Structure 1
């Protein structure tokens, strides 16, 4: 059953068939089909689901699709589904909604769920505190394993996960973690402290992407999230961490292509939404491209004396832009996986200088040979030296820009491939014409 099949059935008035087919699908599959439908048909199809199925399917929809349904149906019809969501998913959905709609939904929550959601909403967007679940089971190190198991039985039904159990002292400071397997298979009278392991944890104010990546890299089922005094606030589960990393990767890929992420499937996105995702970056690139035009205007006299120099401008700007983009992409990835930090700027610069110089030398020799054979040794020398210089400069700048962005708390993906390409175009042309004036004496 595909989204197109459901769209056709709705258009033909076969509503009973639509409801029946959706009800047969697992919630994840039904949500995937609804996500791919346009807003109008999605709303109709969702109304046809039985109440219990609708609650389960709503929880599996993307935040953008959830928000669209709420705007179409109203808060009253979504209240049950909203109440059943985990607090971290609820907070993500509230970010998509207008303030008045968000407030109405929060008022519809039970007091306990409202308090749990407020804990998550108290942290800034992008922090792991905003993505953690405050619903967990904790035990104390002086508990017996039997007492710990009993506590898990009593409170585990409402917890996000029970496979990794945070161990806290009586001031709620994190001491470690214990495995449910160890507690179940142990001597009931042995203290939990015997099975407590050193925890891998995150501070609530930490960037969600870096915490999530650490969670996945260490294969942690549930990572405790603490405040600055190391008091336990919540947990980040592996599946939530995977969602955070995937969303960050989608955003980085989009910005590397000079656009923003679309929140709805492409075929169902409005022209305005697609335009908005692209046009801002085009304005930025257009403004930066003015630098290139200004450089050409400054060296107009040089070009008039040796017209052959103009023929190599596309080659040199292309090499510089691609070299800078390669370096930026590599370092951005290294930042995301915490292989480097802004403190490693000197090491990154040193490495990229050497890489750029090596690539420039190899390409420069080829450029010199081709240009010298056709336009003479003097032009060949200019091209060869420029390629070496541009590659070295572009690799260094491209490698350092993501580190600079991280230092000033800007997403390194903002320094996208097109932006760096345009920057390298302007500076590369300045280097090109300066070398030409020196070598050719013009």
Structure 2
């Protein structure tokens, strides 16, 4: 969101003037405190580091924490280096353990260790537990602060327990029920406790929990979380013992990160670690240059194909006119199939074992698309350039659409099978592959039909 209010513009002007005096800083603080959190986050993300630090320092503690928690972890790490030691300590202490772990990932090891040792024993233990899981594991995003109930409690006792400890956990709307070894037995919703007779045992109220293991992949768990329409999900270890809970805000963050990553790679780039306007130019270049080089090298295949069929082009020059149309159609058809299958993989609608069904589906879709476009191509090009050229165009469009649809649907599944990110097989890569292959199909059909 871009700040548009007069107050936001005033704050930006004050920051640009590099306020130093106490009066200037007080004016900045007054103006900044009237802005909503979303505009303050935008300003901190998009202003230079020194200006962002000045703005952050004049905010009150609660507002500063709300802004800090809304920033991506890489941006948090950069802001930390520009803040006063005491302010850093206050922020780190108030963060949830999972948010703290994400921040520590971005900090130099020495800084992270110093901040970790500055925490009290309980907070340090919870943060260390979260840091012990791999970055892609859901355990890295759970909150270890969980309010649990025992099966032998009555509903009345359970409500009293919730009231006494309501400020400690991240959520109280879903309450795990565990035995003495913390093995998960089930869950109880807060609403059910409120409407149940106080003498009913919690064990009788508990129902089976939709849960995940701490080492499970974060994206798969987050997708399951939303598919089940949950507010919170218990996370257990390999022996079924409760170790934390995944809340809806953390699940949203995971999906947003995955979608951002997939979107960037589909476009042939790496995701930026922070907001676009605050990312240094060289970092933006690095995020794009690798894929551009890969695609440029792979595009040489297209040039080689044209060189092989150069004599056919010399004989029938009109064939060159249709090359952009055919390569564009093949690339677009492949991109559509790849995007559809990649999304289906992400939401669990398709699995690797469904590969034959996906190929069969895309074969039929490609042939139908090719039949429609081929018929149109035959009619239009036939009227202008003759029946022979129309036949070449019709057969080529039919063949290219069928091939591109199959390739586009197949590549994400192959990527998943070999453990790669399906989004890496991005649309530009598929376009380049379909360009070269489509030209081979085109000139092969032209050679046969026109007798070249």
State the TM-score bracket (shorter-chain normalisation).
Answer: over 0.9
Alignment counterpart, residue 12 of structure 2, candidates 2, 7, 17: 7
Label 1:3 to 1:300 Cα distance change in 2 as closer, same or farther (>3 A).
Answer: farther
Moved more, 224-233 or 48-57: 48-57
Residue 25 of structure 1 and its aligned partner are, at CA, apart by 4.2
Label 1:161 to 1:372 Cα distance change in 2 as closer, same or farther (>3 A).
Answer: same
> How does the TM-score come out when normalised to structure 1?
0.94
Q: What is the alpha-carbon distance in structure 2 between the residues aligned to residue 392 and residue 325 of structure 1?
A: 13
* 2:188 match: secondary structure: strand
Residue 54 of structure 1 and its aligned partner are, at CA, apart by 2.9
Label 1:208 to 1:397 Cα distance change in 2 as closer, same or farther (>3 A).
Answer: same
**Native 8 Å contact 2:327 2:439 kept in 1:** yes
Q: How does 1:403-442 map to 2 (within 5 A)?
A: 403-442=413-452
Moved more, 281-290 or 24-33: 24-33
Moved more, 167-176 or 275-284: 167-176
Q: How does 1:293-312 map to 2 (within 5 A)?
A: 293-312=303-322
Alignment counterpart, residue 234 of structure 1, candidates 214, 224, 244: 244
Q: What is the alpha-carbon distance in structure 2 between the residues aligned to residue 29 and residue 140 of structure 1?
A: 44
* 1:200 match: secondary structure: coil
Q: What is the alpha-carbon distance in structure 1 between the residues aligned to residue 85 and residue 393 of structure 2?
A: 65
> How does the TM-score come out when normalised to structure 2?
0.92
Alignment counterpart, residue 266 of structure 2, candidates 228, 232, 256: 256
RMSD: 2.0
Label 1:434 to 1:347 Cα distance change in 2 as closer, same or farther (>3 A).
Answer: same
Residue 425 of structure 1 and its aligned partner are, at CA, apart by 0.7
Moved more, 317-326 or 132-141: 132-141
Residue 84 of structure 1 and its aligned partner are, at CA, apart by 1.1
Where does residue 145 of structure 1 map in the other structure? 155
Where does residue 208 of structure 2 map in the other structure? 198
**Native 8 Å contact 2:8 2:39 kept in 1:** no
Q: What is the alpha-carbon distance in structure 2 between the residues aligned to residue 259 and residue 386 of structure 1?
A: 31
1:325 maps to 2:340? no
Alignment counterpart, residue 351 of structure 1, candidates 361, 385, 398: 361
Q: What is the alpha-carbon distance in structure 1 between the residues aligned to residue 95 and residue 38 of structure 2?
A: 14
**Native 8 Å contact 2:8 2:35 kept in 1:** no
Residue 220 of structure 1 and its aligned partner are, at CA, apart by 0.5
Structure 1: stretches of 5+ with no match in the other structure: none
* 2:166 match: secondary structure: helix
**Native 8 Å contact 2:234 2:246 kept in 1:** yes
Deviations 1:354-374 (A, max 9, x none): 000000000001111222222
Residue 56 of structure 1 and its aligned partner are, at CA, apart by 3.9
Label 1:52 to 1:382 Cα distance change in 2 as closer, same or farther (>3 A).
Answer: closer
Q: How does 1:52-131 map to 2 (within 5 A)?
A: 52-73=62-83, 77-131=87-141
**Native 8 Å contact 2:45 2:278 kept in 1:** no
Count of residues in Structure 1 that have an aligned counterpart in Structure 2: 442
Where does residue 16 of structure 1 map in the other structure? 26
Label 1:253 to 1:438 Cα distance change in 2 as closer, same or farther (>3 A).
Answer: same
Alignment counterpart, residue 219 of structure 1, candidates 212, 229, 235: 229
1:386 maps to 2:396? yes
1:164 maps to 2:174? yes
